[in-house]
Structure 1
Amino acid sequence: MDDLSRIRTFIKVVDAGSFSAAARHEFSVSSVARQVKSLEDELGIRLLNRSTRHLSLTEPGRLFYERAVAISNDLNTAKREAASFQGNVKGLLRVSLRISAGACAIVPALPKFLEQYPELTVDVSLTDERVDLIANNIDVAVWSGDLPNADIVGRQLSPSRRIVCASPAYFARAGTPAVPEDLKRHNCLLFKAPTHADIWLFERDGVSQEVKIDGNMQSSNGIALLSGALAGLGIIVVHEWMVRSDLEQGRLARVLNDYVVRPTTVEAPVHVVFPSSQGMSLKVRAFVDFLVQLFREPGLGPAVQRSTKA
């Protein structure tokens, strides 16, 4: 019998006034008496004065009873508070996000998410490294690539459509490409990485086309290229979710909407993940559902009108 069970039995005996009354609904009288005797033996003191008709607390028994009742009440309160998290999304949620997804898509969408869950606080870290979720006390993360082992549970986010876009100022100055071949006459901002080349791939009606592009800016950082595009420097190929708010606000305009833009290499899937040992709490579930909805591609609206300068 564990300590907590013996202490609770002792409290019941005192409150009920006898062993038989305490045992009425759950235990035998002998079982109740053994638990109290075991507690006294461990403490090395007598908690109760016993007679054939009456029980009374000894002085140390009274002190122990008062502290035991306080502890039991605190434990019940703690259990109720913990259980309340099953009915409400609340508390602190620690998340680790890939830099581009976090800065460009997830963090800008947090106000609406937190408006829905006003008792929740989100602690955000941005990194493209896969941090140890358990060691760093991370509740949920966004990773790129396959899941490493069974200790991590994940849900793949919807693959994002790539789009071709630039600022309205750039198109006003340089004209608007009508077909992929037109990109050869434009300043294209190139993502630089070992797995990426200066080739953009397009497909329409089952026909694929490669276009060799050129431009005066290249970077291994997608946010840097996005900043260049927003500043009117040139055209980029980018995930739709990365520029959704810029498209909605008119800071960027898309072109070549009739074409599917293909990656030059097989892309690693993007997952929202959490430690399997922690399970999917309500706050984690709410955040996962939020990300799934966020990365689900909406209608992209009309493409920019083609000018006569191209």
Structure 2
Amino acid sequence: MDEFTRIQTFIKVVEAGSFSAAARRESSISSVARQVKSLEDELGVRLLNRSTRSLSLTEPGRRFYERVCVIANDLNNAKSEATSFQESVKGVLRVSLRVSSGTTIIVPALPKLLEQYPDLSIDISLTDERLDLVANNIDVAVWMGDIPDSEIVARRLSPSQRIVCGSPSYFERHGVPRMPSDLREHNCVLFTARSYGNVWRFTKDGQHEEIEVQGTVCSDNGLVLLSAAMSGLGLIVVHEWMVRLPIAQGALVRVLNDFTVNPKAGDAELYAVYPSSRGLSRKVRVFVDFLVALFRGAEALTDAGALPPSRADVKRAPA
């Protein structure tokens, strides 16, 4: 009996709660017991406390179980990822998108993806809340900010690059700011979500400047702010990806290009995340690659056969 088979049997016994319950799945009680005893003999420690009525892990058994569960899960994921290359891209993909990135970037680009994979259907929920992926049966989600310690895999979509922009009609009426200090004389559209304020921060050549701005329109919703700026109501600090299309269409104009804008200390990288426990199906791989290409401004979609992402792009939270 090979070592990994014995380890898998040990995991089944722990999860089932008894030798008999584990044996009912695929083997005999005596075979299950022999495999666990053989594993204990090889390790030189007792993994399970046995009695006629109960079964419990010893301290070394608990530590061993926690480690081998991770290894077994990684192996299953590796197998799933390998076989996913033979799968067709079809079925329902359940995704959770942030409101701003979903409506301004991702949903408008979906026709190109669905044209390439006509057997794929996408079930979309829009929320800025971080839902439990497994409990809510979500295949892929888009999150912003730090990734918590949990069983997920994250791939970076976009860094936290922000820019200042406004509509051509606004600049015709009020002029174009040349320096951050000029913003004190301008109407600014303000984001009022928690921990944001009316101080915009700029950096150039190692020099930092904080400007307190004012405005007649404020909101805790990014789409409201975007609409206000496009309507000529004021200047806005916004993620570059969120206004890529309006800028290309001439509805917004970027200003203060020589300055790095960081109104809220470094928290806003965008990630595509999915549960590590499910492995990586081909439809998930295709959608994540689509998101990466989209936010990087790639002209063509990346298929599942693309090269794996670099270490800088992949982030897996510790177990």
- Please state which band the TM-score falls in when normalised by the shorter chain: 0.5 to 0.7
Q: Which runs of 5+ in 2 are unaligned?
A: 1-82, 299-319
What's the counterpart of residue 219 of structure 2? Answer: 219
What's the counterpart of residue 255 of structure 2? Answer: 255
2:88 maps to amino acid: N
1:143 and 1:271 in contact (8 A); partners too:
yes
Q: Given the superposition, is the C-alpha separation of residues 172 and 107 from structure 1 closer, same or farther in structure 2, using an over 3 Å criterion?
A: same
Residues in 2 aligned to 1:84 and 1:261: alpha-carbon distance in whole angstroms: 41
Q: Which runs of 5+ in 1 are unaligned?
A: 1-82, 299-310
1:103 maps to amino acid: T
Larger radius of gyration: 1
Residues in 2 aligned to 1:85 and 1:119: alpha-carbon distance in whole angstroms: 16
Q: Given the superposition, is the C-alpha separation of residues 297 and 265 from structure 1 closer, same or farther in structure 2, using an over 3 Å criterion?
A: farther
1:161 and 1:297 in contact (8 A); partners too:
no
1:191 and 1:225 in contact (8 A); partners too:
yes
Q: Given the superposition, is the C-alpha separation of residues 262 and 84 from structure 1 closer, same or farther in structure 2, using an over 3 Å criterion?
A: closer
Q: What is the CA-CA distance between 1:268 and the residue it aligns to?
A: 4.5
Residues in 2 aligned to 1:196 and 1:237: alpha-carbon distance in whole angstroms: 12
2:159 and 2:268 in contact (8 A); partners too:
no
Q: What is the CA-CA distance between 1:88 and the residue it aligns to?
A: 2.5
Q: Given the superposition, is the C-alpha separation of residues 180 and 267 from structure 1 closer, same or farther in structure 2, using an over 3 Å criterion?
A: same
1:99 and 1:126 in contact (8 A); partners too:
yes
What's the counterpart of residue 237 of structure 1? Answer: 237
Secondary structure, aligned partner of 2:210: strand
Secondary structure, aligned partner of 1:103: helix
Q: Given the superposition, is the C-alpha separation of residues 112 and 160 from structure 1 closer, same or farther in structure 2, using an over 3 Å criterion?
A: farther
Residues in 1 aligned to 2:160 and 2:104: alpha-carbon distance in whole angstroms: 14
* RMSD (CA atoms): 1.9
What's the counterpart of residue 130 of structure 2? Answer: 130
Residues in 1 aligned to 2:254 and 2:280: alpha-carbon distance in whole angstroms: 38
- TM-score normalised according to structure 2 size: 0.64
How do 1:226-305 residues align onto structure 2 when only pairs under 5 Å count? 226-296=226-296
Residues in 2 aligned to 1:181 and 1:262: alpha-carbon distance in whole angstroms: 15
What's the counterpart of residue 173 of structure 1? Answer: 173
> Aligned pair 1:191/2:194, yes or no?
no
Count of residue correspondences: 216
Residues in 2 aligned to 1:210 and 1:84: alpha-carbon distance in whole angstroms: 50
Render the CA deviation track for 1:206-256: whole Å, top value 9, x for unaligned: 211111111101111111111101111110000011111111111111111
Residues in 2 aligned to 1:247 and 1:210: alpha-carbon distance in whole angstroms: 25
What's the counterpart of residue 120 of structure 1? Answer: 120
1:196 and 1:265 in contact (8 A); partners too:
no
What's the counterpart of residue 203 of structure 1? Answer: 203
Q: Given the superposition, is the C-alpha separation of residues 164 and 146 from structure 1 closer, same or farther in structure 2, using an over 3 Å criterion?
A: closer
1:294 maps to amino acid: L
- TM-score normalised according to structure 1 size: 0.65
2:238 maps to amino acid: V
